[in-house]
Chain A
């Protein structure tokens, strides 16, 4: 799939870091209960590190991280989450849609088995079948296992600002996002400090500050989430691939025609 990436190509990495710090400062000053969505992937690792440096410098508390646990993570991801949160000393909240995860039968989730709230969510995104696969390949699977889990955590922990690592150049649906973006249901703001970072910038930042790297990137994955919906894009390490002329999320099913846009309409990142 080809599209015109929105690329901020003129600014240096230093300048983009400065922008990120301004966004972080503004959000941390104005919001009381910030969280960082963290998947141990390359982008959220950068956001987490930028926030960590900022709060350490300003003698503030590190916001907790929100890990969306859809039950299909690579073991390496879970190990990394555990290891880094222990070493960097911050809390991780595992956001899980327990009801949906408990109702998986032979790889399927039947809508009638779900609780009232989940049934409402399934219908809300326009899914009318009796069951769906326990997979992140579909919009309904993505919505129930990830967005609903995330929204429930936002409500449960009264989160008013949620940092995420989305970037303009990732996907057309994300390319017009703003730095601090208010959301209605549930009410909170999304904070996007690294919007102008390109994929290349993320790797530059990672190596500049020697951040931990998820082992799968080295094996050729460029975008990592569930173990069944992420695919290698090459056998070369992610940072050695042709980042500028190929598509970063080619290995991800979320980016099928229009799906990301729909997911975002219902609260996805």
Chain B
């Protein structure tokens, strides 16, 4: 019998916040899936932001192999073009050929019809959560024009007969308040609409359902709302306008609340599947495309994702509930996003062995994820004359390798070791010459023909 498949990507979710992985945020509904399935403890994302990682999930290839990645000059500006040009392995296509009905839901603009991400889906729904946030931001900004506070502004609008405007703001704010009350955070990212949609769908079996939830993706707190996120991140990183601890505290709080909210929505989905008697027989994969740095103590502290290969950016959760709720035997090692394709292909063939785990896995980046030259020239971030030097200094090509408890990150511009840890704790390079040599060899083989100093 053909297996139904759910692939749920909780965008930007780092694994260490989840209680399943020893963190302080409990996710009772995801825990329930983990109880019926297998918790993979060492999953690493192949890239550090949405496009590179999602391309890896769907193609089974590392960013350097599928080619959709940032570079020093153009950052995100070339990504849509590269996504449109990509013409390689794609498991959604294979499922389609097998007669699967593919259904996709996304609130992430990278995963939308603009990048032709909807190809080979019988139905692909993109909710522009960014648009909703923008609309809220606009309303907040505009309203300030009419008075220094809410009461003043309301008085002004009513006294000047601007009833239509008043009505618009009234409804917008009321709606925001409702969401805030419901979820405890001010940003609506449409996860409830996605689940509503699924609950109201009829299913053509076998099917594959892909969901990308943007809930835990920034903005996570209200101070981020008024400003371009690139301005916030890079001015902080270069030390021009530092994000203080209080703001980071707000971020962490918002992030946790958002995770609770996604968890709740996943719970609704699980209940529905149980009721429809589709839960037990389905393959359900819950993972993330990358984590989120929140100014942890690093050589360059950073808020956001992309740009670095810190643990908090590339170590992700991975929970797999196999069809029939079988508990498969896990191999020891690491799981990479590039093996999700194989997991799905094997499961639809009725084979449930551990194809996710490998002895050695990698993560790679090819520069900053934004075009910093343009951001600097246009004054979106503080103007810098030596921008290319800064790019090479802060965002060189990097590759990380994980093997036997060790993690090594190499700067591909000068071959220097940027990070060397053993089970997450800083390790001494001079004490482990053989480990360093072996891991360098792994990276140099992985690099292949690429110009990357090891």
Chain A residues close to B by CB (< 8 Å): 28, 31-34, 60-61, 64, 91, 93, 116, 156-158, 160, 187
Contact = CB atoms under 8 A, between A and B. Distances in A.
Given A91-B441, A91-B444, A116-B353, A28 B65 contact: no
B448 A33 contact: yes
Contacts of A61: 444, 447, 449
A32 B353 contact: no
Contacts of B450: 32
A64 B443 CA distance: 12
Contacts of A32: 64-65, 448-450
A156 B441 CA distance: 14
A28 B62 contact: no
Closest 5 pairs (CB-CB, A-B): A33-B448, A32-B448, A32-B449, A157-B445, A64-B445
B74 to A, nearest CB: 20
Contacts of B358: 156
Nearest to B454: A61
Nearest to A61: B449
A10 B222 CA distance: 78
Contacts of B58: none
Residue of B62, B444, B449 contacting most chain A CB atoms (<10 Å): B449
Interface of B: 62, 64-65, 89, 353, 358, 441, 444-450
A31 B449 contact: yes
B445 A91 contact: yes
Contacts of B447: 61
A61 B451 CA distance: 9
A116 B351 CA distance: 12
B343 to A, nearest CB: 15
A187 B65 CA distance: 13
A70 B358 CA distance: 23
B449 A33 contact: yes
B421 to A, nearest CB: 23
29 contacts: A28-B449, A31-B448, A31-B449, A32-B65, A32-B448, A32-B449, A32-B450, A33-B445, A33-B446, A33-B449, A34-B448, A60-B449, A61-B444, A61-B447, A61-B449, A64-B445, A91-B441, A91-B444, A91-B445, A93-B445, A116-B353, A156-B358, A157-B445, A157-B446, A158-B62, A158-B65, A158-B446, A160-B65, A187-B89
Contacts of A158: 62, 65, 446
Nearest to B89: A187
Nearest to B449: A32
Contacts of A64: 445
Nearest to B61: A158
Contacts of A33: 445-446, 448-449
Given A32-B449, A116-B353, A160-B448, 5 more contacts: A28-B449, A32-B450, A33-B448, A33-B449, A158-B446
A34 B62 CA distance: 16
A115 to B, nearest CB: 11
B359 to A, nearest CB: 8
A29 to B, nearest CB: 8
B449 A34 contact: yes
A32 B448 CA distance: 5
A91 B65 CA distance: 21
B354 to A, nearest CB: 11
A31 B353 CA distance: 30
B317 to A, nearest CB: 24
A28 to B, nearest CB: 7
Contacts of A156: 358
Contacts of A160: 65, 448
A130 B447 CA distance: 42
Contacts of B65: 32, 158, 160
Contacts of B449: 28, 31-34, 60-61
